Structure formats: structure tokens, C-alpha cells
Structure 1
């Protein structure tokens, strides 16, 4: 064992649930990332059309920064255990790259094995997502006259759970009709949404060249 820390189970469960909403079944990215560091811990999930990054805040007590890959089933299990522990959750990072999440007060736990070697996809996607979110967070808004969105992608943001007493409203930064949109929801969730390519969509016979306007 190389690292462990404690966190409120409800906070951990909410973040895992929110990451699961951005890890759809049959996605080209078959995993989400759990990043744990002294400055901040967060989940990061994407299918290349939308990005979700629910924050855990600073992680105290870690000896080193850790990145773990999690499947949809792993996220669901962490959500379940975080809610069931009824208090603090102790998360232990194993030397082989897995983790154990166990209730401090109640005897509930989830054992997540190391996944990286079994999941085949381009791991560079996590840096791309992180870089994109940081870039979008720096840009100034320039709202376009027309913007096309996939309502199915937008609906994922409606599933986000926020801490009790905080607003579930979305705040969006739009920088162009064909640029990713920065989305924030509550104090702990940052994400991005890819707009529909209007030129491609306009070629649809059903939609027509005027894009319904």
C-alpha cells in the first residue's frame, strides 16, 4: 500500500455518479480517470463529444499523485459504497494500481483492481481533455449568432448531482459556433460540450441547407 486518505462518502459517491453520466455504454473511451493529488482530486470522463470533471477538492495525506482508470462498473460500485458508508470513506491506493474504498463507520467496501493493462484506447485523451478544459476556462466569451447542440449530449448535464444547498443550474461559456463550450454546474463540476458541426448537419436531407431557420 502506498497511499490512503479519508473523504466524506457522500462527496465521493456524488463525484463517481457524475463521472458515470459522462461514461456512456459502448463509448470509444471505455474508462474514466480518477486523478488524486494534494492540490486536487477529480474524476475525468469523456466519449469525445462531452467531458465531465467532478472535483473532490484537495486530497490530504497522499504521498504521490495517482491516476487510476475506472470502468462504468467501477464507478457504479464506488457510488454505491460511498452512499452506503454513511460517513467517512477510507480510500487506499494499492501498490499494483488498484484501490480499496471502505467505510470507516460501517463495514462496506469496494475493491477495484488495476485496469490499465486490460483497457485498449489512446490514453492521451486525458491530457487532451485536461488541456481543453484549462484553455476554455481562460477564454473570454464571444457568443455566436447561431449555435447547434445535440440534445442527447446536453441531457447528460441534467443528470449532475450537486452538493445539498447548491444550485443545479448550468453556467456556459460559448466562444464560437464550432468551438467546445465550457460548462460549470455547482461548486465541484466542470465539463465541456462539443457543438454540432453546422456544415455537416446542414447536408442532411431532413434538415436542409438552411438548418431549419
Structure 2
């Protein structure tokens, strides 16, 4: 069993930010909560990645990962805002989690979702590896880049801690490789550019895609 405490407002913000990257019709029906030396969430629909961090873990137990649905993220967002102080997160050995207010009597119990969610879980290792590669990659900035504005708009929903800038830093390496995006001190993500040739053949976008 793993137990840790976190500021409720920070946890709510991280859940809100992960929710923006877990759209309702995503092929990936969950986000992941990772608790190790650092606590963070990871969410993707394979076109954009969001990784809000909660910083160093204040607690004890073995490193653990918990799957969370959109409904779970929404509930944890509301719980974090309602607790008015710290949240105690308990993760039993059979996973799932129990989140309780330390100063206020609020609680959310989330069961183990593994058996009910069907998707290829290798996506999480791919997301971790991709973000690390993008952070190390030397840029070769293209003259022209095509982006899907609907995907880019997700980054506009990110909440940053009070007193920090909401501006995005974007590291563009080429016209066809994912873009590393950082927002504030706790959020890292990635965005897949549009393949202009494929998009130009799309009946929904037309030959004048983005122009």
C-alpha cells in the first residue's frame, strides 16, 4: 500500500489538466496517476500528450500507477477544490485509490479500473519515451508547420499555479515530429503536427487545409 499527501488545490489543478487530454471519444479511455519519487498524471489520445506534475512525493510505499477514467478525473478535481487543504491519497495493493480531506470530511473512493478498460497499455511507455526524446532533441526549425487548432486548444485549458505564467514554451524540431510543450512549472506535454499531404486529401478539411 502507498500513502501520500498533497495540496488539494494542486491535485485538483493536475486532474483538470489531465482531463483536457482525455477526450470523451479517445482510443485511450484512461489517464495514469504515477506515484514514485515524483507524483504526476499522464494523459493522451495519441495526438496530444499532457503530463501535469505534483512534484516530489510526500509519503511512503512502493512506486505505483493507477488508471483513472474521465469521470474519476472530474471527481478528483471537484474533491481537491472542496477539501480546503491537504488530501491524503491511499493506494491499496489491488490499486484504485481512496482520497480523503485531511482538514475537511470529504472523500472519494475509486476502484481498480484495470479489468473494465480495454486498450493497449504500451501507449504509456511510448508517451514517457517520446517526452524524454523531445526534451533532448536538437531543433531544426521548419519554415512552415501545420497544426490542428482543436488539438492546440487543449493547451489553452491548462491551469497553472497562482503567480506563474500561463504562456506556452514550444520546442519545434521539424515539420513532422511531435512538438514538446511546457506550460508553467508543472506541466509538460506534446502535440502531433498535421501531415499536410494526408490532410489535403481529407474530405472534411478540403484541399485548402488551414488556409
TM category (shorter chain) comes to over 0.9
Q: Which residue of structure 1 lines up, in the alignment, with residue 73 of structure 2?
A: 75
Aligned twin of 2:30: 31
The residue aligned with 1:122 is: 120
Aligned match of 2:39:
41
The DSSP-based 3-state class of the residue aligned with 1:61 is: strand
Partner secondary structure for residue 13 of structure 2: helix
Q: Which residue of 2 aligns with 1:16?
A: 15
Separation (CA, whole Å) in 2 of partners of 1:72 and 1:204: 30
Tell me, in whole angstroms, the C-alpha distance in 1 between the residues paired with 2:183 and 2:164: 9
> Quick one: structure 1 residues 112 and 212, their matched pair in 2 at CA, closer, same or farther if it must change by over 3 Å?
closer
Deviation at 1:211, TM superposition (A): 5.5
8 Å contact 1:37–1:62 — kept in the other structure? no
Give the TM-score normalised by structure 2. Answer: 0.96
Gaps of 5+ in 2: none
For the structure 1 residues 86 and 193, does the alpha-carbon distance in structure 2 shift closer, same or farther, using more than 3 Å as the test? same
Q: Distance between the aligned counterparts of 2:100 and 2:209, measured in 1?
A: 52
- Paired position in structure 1 for 2:2: 3
User: How many residues align structurally?
Assistant: 210
Which one is further off, 184-193 or 135-144?
135-144
Partner of 2:49: 51
State the 1:202 CA deviation.
Answer: 2.4
Matches within 5 A, 1:71-150: 71-150=69-148
Structure-1-length-normalised TM-score:
0.95
How many angstroms apart in 1 are the aligned matches of 2:102 and 2:202?
56
Aligned counterparts of 1:29 and 1:5: Cα–Cα separation in 2: 27
Corresponding position of 1:199: 197
The answer to whether the 8 Å contact 2:8/2:81 transfers is yes
Q: Alpha-carbon deviation of 1:61?
A: 2.2
SS of the aligned residue for 1:23 comes to coil
Q: 1:88, 1:105 within 8 Å by CA — same for their partners in 2?
A: yes
**Runs of 4+ deviating beyond 6 Å:** none
* Runs of 5+ consecutive residues of structure 1 not aligned to the other structure: none
Aligned to 1:163: 161
